[in-house]
Amino acid sequence: MQIRAIAANVIKEAIRQKIIYVIVLFTFLLFAIEPAIPSFKVGLRTQLFGDIALGVAYLAIAVIAIAISVNQVPKEIERRTIYNIFSKPVRRADFLVGKYLGVLVMLAICASLMGLAIFGFIYIYFGKVAYGIFQGVGMMLLEAALISAFATLVSTLVSPTINVFACILFYFVGHVKNDALANAIKAGGSTSALGLALKYTLPSLENFNVSEVVARGIILKTDFMLGLLLYTLVFIVIFLTIASFSLSRKEL
Amino acid sequence: MDKALELENLSKTYKIGFRKAGRRAVVDVSLSIPAGKVFGLLGPNGAGKTTTIKMALGFLKPDSGQVRIFGEPNGPKARARIGFLPEQPYFYPHLTAGAALDFYGKLFGLKRAERIERTKLLLDTVGLSDAVKLPLSKFSKGMLQRFGIAQALVNNPDLLIVDEPASGLDPIGQVEMRRLLAALNAEGKSILLSSHYLSEVENICHEVAIMNKGTVIARGDIGKLLDAGDVYTVKAKSLPKTWRPVKSVVKKGHINGIANLIVGKDDLDRLIDGIRSAGGHIEDVRKVTKTLEELFIELVGANANGGSHDAN
Ligand SMILES: Nc1ncnc2c1ncn2[C@@H]1O[C@H](COP(=O)(O)OP(=O)(O)O)[C@@H](O)[C@H]1O
Ligand SMILES: [Mg+2]
């Protein structure tokens, strides 16, 4: 019940802060993307549009994930509302899980709404039923969940500003393609030991990047999706475990 | 006697930046709060009261020492019996008083029906019934402090810990707060009350500890601490101008025809007899007690020379 109450509070606060406006903005953006697509055959245009729109949605959900995750814990500490929570029978780990689940619900709502917007747009403007979009939504949600868990962990250690930079770094390191990395190593150039260490300890976010595939109407294999779900869960559990350890040791 | 809260040899040094030597905020403080009593933790700003309370509640890890709440170490089970009002409390501003109390009720795992009942009862108790639907951002400082008390009582706690509950309240608010705390104690709740307004605690605490610079410099029964020894003041009027009291009397003053006399216990009877046989009227006789302010100045002065005071 405590976890649920804390999560519900996160959702209330996010709704109050009008996170939903980002979705409205996103929908308007779709109208700007459409005319920019070159006039190929309809099928190709639909694919291209779906790919680009999903790509923008991936970025948008990552930004939303970072924006709402970095502040959850620090704000409670800074405003001292945390004293009214941990003086009650709430474990620090439960508090973190509640916060995280609240953020997750918000992200799921945002991702679904963006998916619906793309789906609707394709249906109306291109006359196609692109169910694949929703697989993209699932994958972008997994990625956002992972980013959010990372942001939650870092939020127990540093200020929100530094956290944003850490998240951006996490995002880019995660999106370095394996072949790009291989090339960099071969070239012996600027890839430092630290970069390599980061690359192999942090999860690869490039795995989630299926927008091009699903836009082409290819249905993702269940094995692939389950595998990715498991991969994500493992990292989330690791991040949140370290986070609650770190929060437990924190002096308030 | 059962103990509500026991703090044993707590010490805390705040780390400042990366320097090794930090600020010693609390040094070897031991307190024992008997169940059912009001215990006052007194001391000037910076004495270490809040730090001590934060260690008691587990917000800070003591460098050394132990905390026991109703005989148990701090944990969710022990905290279920505690209500806490932080110093300068702050709550989610966008929640209404009702919604916020409901939220805090959930943190205690209270059922819906219980939460509804407690919310109504508590807002009534602290005089905020009219503000159920008002967001906390619209509350005045005094209202927030009262909401803070309501919030601390959601679980009907056995031990109430309040850190400077009167700060920021107007004089009427302070009196109300004192009455409320006394009433809660009458219901059987143990209370740990910290304050730097010495007069705030004088009338409601059974026992006090006085802190200064991180250590306890005096403790015990408040009556004994304030006892100035066997000295009395006697007020009398209609005394003839030529009347002179017994030798041991320190004649303090003469205001509006009333003589104010200070005398030791041994000479009290003789003084009163003398006044009456001279045709004077006794207006008032009372035992002299120090105010907490006086005691405090005395103690801090003594403490500077390494003294300590124990009234038990
Ligand atoms: N977070 C902190 N970091 C460093 N020093 C602190 C911190 N909190 C309190 N102090 C210092 O510890 C001492 C005790 O503070 P505190 O416990 O708040 O006293 P009180 O509540 O009696 O006014 C003071 O000297 C104060 O400056
Ligand atoms: Mg204080």
**DSSP labels for B206-231?**
SEEEEEETTEEEEEEEHHHHHEEEEE
With the most atoms of ligand 1 within 8 angstroms of its CB, the residue from B11, B19, B23 to mutate is B23
Helical (H) or strand (E) element with B51? helix B49-57
Cross-chain residue pair A89–B58, CB shorter than 8 Å: no
Q: Which ligand is nearest to the CA of B52?
A: 1
Q: How large is the average pLDDT for residues B209-226?
A: 85
Cross-chain residue pair A9–B58, CB shorter than 8 Å: no
Give Cβ neighbours of residue A48 (< 8 Å, ≥ 6 apart): A37, A38, A40, A215
Q: How large is the average pLDDT for residues B8-24?
A: 83
Dihedral over Cα of A71, A75, A81, A86: its sign: positive
Span B3-224: which CATH code?
A: 3.40.50.300
pLDDT in tens, A77-135: 999 999 999 999 999 999 999 999 999 999 999 999 999 999 999 999 888 888 888 99
User: Is A1 an interface residue toward B (CB < 8 Å)?
Assistant: yes
Nearest-Cα distance to chain B for A77, in Å, is 11
Confidence of residue A180 (pLDDT cuts 50, 70, 90): low
Average pLDDT, chain A: 88
Distance CA A144, CA B37 (A): 52
* Ligand 1 contact via B155 beta carbon (within 6 Å): no
The whole-number pLDDT of residue A189 equals 53
Cβ–Cβ under 8 Å, residues B44 and B214:
no
Please give the single-letter amino acid code of residue A129.
Answer: V
Residues of B in contact with A87 (CB under 8 A): 57, 59, 79, 82, 84, 86, 161
Which of A84, A91, A252 lies nearest to residue B104, judging by beta carbons?
A84
pLDDT at B306 over 50: no
pLDDT at B20 over 80: no
Pairing status of strand B258-264 against strand B23-34? unpaired
User: Phi/psi of residue A143, each to 5°?
Assistant: -60, -45
* Ligand 1 contact via B4 beta carbon (within 6 Å): no
Distance CA B98, CA B120 (A): 8
Q: How large is the average pLDDT for residues B67-94?
A: 93
Confidence of residue A179 (pLDDT cuts 50, 70, 90): low
Confidence of residue B201 (pLDDT cuts 50, 70, 90): confident
Nearest-Cα distance to chain B for A222, in Å, is 39
pLDDT at B307 over 50: no
Name the nearest CA neighbour of B134 among B104, B96, B99.
Answer: B96
Architecture of the domain whose range is B228-288: 2-Layer Sandwich (3.30)
Confidence of residue B97 (pLDDT cuts 50, 70, 90): very high
Helix (H, G, I), strand (E, B) or coil at A130: coil
Helix (H, G, I), strand (E, B) or coil at B30: strand
Distance CA B220, CA B39 (A): 10
Cross-chain residue pair A90–B76, CB shorter than 8 Å: yes
Which of B79, B90, B109 lies nearest to residue A87, judging by beta carbons?
B79
Please give the single-letter amino acid code of residue A146.
Answer: L
User: Is A219 an interface residue toward B (CB < 8 Å)?
Assistant: no
pTM for the whole structure: 0.85
pLDDT at A191 over 60: no
Q: How large is the average pLDDT for residues A146-161?
A: 96
Domain ranges of chain B: 3-224, 228-288
For B48-59, give one letter per residue: b (16+ CB within 10 A) or e: bbbbbbbbbbbb
Cross-chain residue pair A5–B103, CB shorter than 8 Å: yes
Cβ–Cβ under 8 Å, residues B222 and B210:
no
Nearest-Cα distance to chain B for A72, in Å, is 13
Q: How large is the average pLDDT for residues B184-212?
A: 88
pLDDT in tens, B107-160: 999 999 999 999 999 999 998 999 999 999 999 888 899 999 999 999 999 999
Greatest Cα pair distance, chain A, in angstroms, is: 64
The whole-number pLDDT of residue A93 equals 96
pLDDT at A235 over 90: yes
Helix (H, G, I), strand (E, B) or coil at B116: helix
Distance CA B149, CA B160 (A): 9
Angle at A117 between CA A6 and CA A146, to 5 degrees: 40
The whole-number pLDDT of residue B252 equals 65
Confidence of residue B50 (pLDDT cuts 50, 70, 90): very high
B104 or A50: which leads in pLDDT = B104
Cβ–Cβ under 8 Å, residues B94 and B137:
yes
Three-class HEC string of A85-114: HHCCCCCHHHHHHHHHHHHHHHHHHHHHHH
pLDDT at B79 over 80: yes
Strand partners, B85: B162
Distance CA A168, CA A166 (A): 5
User: Is A16 an interface residue toward B (CB < 8 Å)?
Assistant: yes
Average pLDDT, chain B: 86
CB atoms near residue A135 (< 10 Å): 20
Confidence of residue B309 (pLDDT cuts 50, 70, 90): very low
Dihedral over Cα of A74, A204, A49, A141: its sign: negative
Cross-chain residue pair A88–B79, CB shorter than 8 Å: yes
Distance CA B65, CA B30 (A): 9
Q: Which residue of B has its CA nearest to A251?
A: B60
pLDDT at B32 over 90: yes
Q: What percent of chain B has pLDDT over 70?
A: 92
pLDDT in tens, B52-74: 999 999 999 999 999 999 999 99
pLDDT at B311 over 50: no
Q: Which residue of A has its CA nearest to B86?
A: A83
Cβ–Cβ under 8 Å, residues B234 and B268:
yes
Name the nearest CA neighbour of A53 among A141, A110, A119.
Answer: A119
Distance CA B103, CA B97 (A): 10
The whole-number pLDDT of residue A3 equals 96
Q: How far apart are the first and last CA of chain B?
A: 16
pLDDT at B225 over 50: yes
The whole-number pLDDT of residue B264 equals 82
**ipTM surpasses cut 0.90:** no
Q: How far apart are the first and last CA of chain A?
A: 24
Q: Which residue of B has its CA nearest to A89?
A: B76
Q: How large is the average pLDDT for residues B181-190?
A: 94
Distance CA A5, CA A196 (A): 41
Cross-chain residue pair B82–A84, CB shorter than 8 Å: no
pLDDT at B187 over 70: yes
Distance CA A33, CA A196 (A): 36
